[in-house]
Amino acid sequence: MTGPTAGLPLEGITVVSCEQAVAAPLATRQLADLGARVIKVERPGSGDFARAYDETVRGMSSHFVWLNRSKESLTLDLKNPEAVRVMEELLRDADVFVQNFAPGAAERLGLGAERLRDLNPRLVTCSISGYGSAGPYRDAKAYDLLIQSETGLVSVTGTEDVPAKSGIPAADIGAGMYAFSGILAALYERERTGVGTDVEVSLFDSLVEWMGYPLYYAAYGGTPPRRTGTSHAAIAPYGTYAAGDGTEYVLSIQNEREWAAFCEVVLGDPAIATDPRFDTGSRRVAHRDELDAEIAARLAPLSGEEMGERLDRGRIANARRRELAEVLEHPQLSSRDRWRDVGTPVGEIRAVLPAIGLAGREARMDPVPGVGEHSAAILAALGYDETEVARLRHDGVL
């Protein structure tokens, strides 16, 4: 590896991943971003089923191009004993094995954590499942929306009248990031002990952890947080407010100093701050509808530019409520040169640099692979000649 990606912290680490969908591919892409070699094992023919989620990125799936850059694709039919032998050869010298099979499937294939650690004691294994390896929900289907529903996220998202799921796959993302951090911790531990360990992550446990504040609120407050759209169940004013020309800002008033400044500088009426309906945080929440009406009346004469200037002058926490087309052109991204071109089987696409930045080094932004694009090269490195590779293809192993 040369150039700005040289010397990344996971350079020299090899990850083999039997992955599909979102959670596991997100975890391994984070590892690849930091320099690891990631060999993605896919089904012969169709590959990871996320490849077919949609065709919006020049015929490729938006989920797939997001999650799979900088990886090598190897196709194997793991129900074939010869494919399992190839996996064993790969894993003898690998550092990490990730899988998001259904619970028990890895063991049935001969790829369970205990057996693999007999093969390679230094191997870090990571299993990602829907509900974990035990319990009454162990074998339940675990698509992201189902997990959002079971963990209560849907119950606190949306409006008072209509609950809603998160607009992004929150359970998958949570599990992927916990798997990523768990693998890093296991690799660090291996440096001290010389022995790998097993990391277990479930979508359910990940999202229950993210639900910490609502769960405490319900357990000790007696009632769950209200669904309030972009507002906040315990803070007001908080949420989306519009200037007279329709420009929308999201406001977050979190202390009395900001509240007084907001009334004086933005609303132009300091008396609102001491109105007995609004003079404490709890009273503002209790009288939220009246408060919002007062705010709307005073913002109506303002343009979006005037509203933004007043918010900044009053040092009020605020943000533009942007549509996705605006985010693609966000000045914070362009001014910091956060976009890169990434290769794919259908040409280059734009991608944002990863969130983890390392001084003087840039994350890997290598191409998104085609199905099985690297199978021959990976097998050649294991000692298979062209005749053997051709036979494996003919026999449906690859």
> Domain ends where: 320, 348, 368?
320
Q: Domain with 26 in it: what CATH number?
A: 3.40.50.10540
Both 349 and 277 in one domain: the answer is: no
Q: How many CB atoms lie within 10 A of CB 353?
A: 16
Both 311 and 355 in one domain: the answer is: no
As a whole number, mean pLDDT of residues 251-275 equals 93
Is residue 326, in this structure, part of any structural domain at all? no
Both 167 and 39 in one domain: the answer is: yes
> Domain ends where: 294, 320, 346?
320
Is residue 328, in this structure, part of any structural domain at all? no
Is residue 332, in this structure, part of any structural domain at all? no
Is residue 116, in this structure, part of any structural domain at all? yes
Both 104 and 202 in one domain: the answer is: yes
Both 265 and 135 in one domain: the answer is: no
pLDDT tens sequence across 104-153? 999 999 999 999 999 999 999 999 999 999 899 898 989 998 999 999 99
Both 279 and 349 in one domain: the answer is: no
pLDDT of residue 254: 86
Both 22 and 59 in one domain: the answer is: yes
Both 349 and 258 in one domain: the answer is: no
CA distances from 270 to 279, 287, 295, 398 (A): 11, 18, 12, 72
394 classed as catalytic = no
pLDDT of residue 229: 78
Per DSSP, the three-state class of 241 is strand
How high does pLDDT run on average in the chain?
A: 92
Is residue 229, in this structure, part of any structural domain at all? no
As a whole number, mean pLDDT of residues 144-169 equals 90
pLDDT of residue 75: 96
As a whole number, mean pLDDT of residues 12-26 equals 96
Q: Is the pLDDT of residue 301 over 60?
A: yes
As a whole number, mean pLDDT of residues 267-282 equals 92
Q: Is the pLDDT of residue 367 over 90?
A: yes
The one catalytic residue among 232, 287, 330, 374: 232
Rg (CA), the chain: 26
pLDDT of residue 3: 46
Token duo for residue 211 = 């639900």
Both 276 and 195 in one domain: the answer is: no
Both 115 and 40 in one domain: the answer is: yes
What pTM did the predictor assign? 0.87
How many percent of the chain have pLDDT more than 90? 76
Residue 41: which pLDDT band, with cuts at 50, 70 and 90?
very high
- The domain tally of the chain equals 2
pLDDT of residue 221: 87
Cβ-contact 364, 8 below 8 angstroms: yes
Q: Is the pLDDT of residue 1 over 50?
A: no
**What is the strand order of the sheet 14-18 is part of?**
71-75, 37-42, 14-18, 96-99, 124-129, 198-202
Both 341 and 315 in one domain: the answer is: no
In the chain, the DSSP E strands lie at 14-18, 37-42, 71-75, 96-99, 124-129, 198-202, 238-242, 248-252, 318-320, 339-342, 349-352
Q: Domain with 289 in it: what CATH number?
A: 3.30.1540.10
Q: Is the pLDDT of residue 2 over 70?
A: no
Distance in angstroms (rounded) separating the CA atoms of residues 310 and 322: 19
As a whole number, mean pLDDT of residues 380-385 equals 92
pLDDT of residue 6: 63
- Could you list the residue range(s) of the whole structural domain that residue 311 is in? 238-320
Torsion sign, CA atoms 31, 34, 36, 39: positive
Token duo for residue 299 = 């913002």
Is residue 188, in this structure, part of any structural domain at all? yes
Is residue 294, in this structure, part of any structural domain at all? yes
> Domain ends where: 320, 345, 363?
320
Q: Is the pLDDT of residue 52 over 70?
A: yes
pLDDT tens sequence across 22-40? 999 999 999 999 999 999 9
Is residue 28, in this structure, part of any structural domain at all? yes
Q: Is the pLDDT of residue 252 over 50?
A: yes
Both 199 and 264 in one domain: the answer is: no
pLDDT tens sequence across 197-229? 999 999 999 999 999 989 998 998 888 888 877
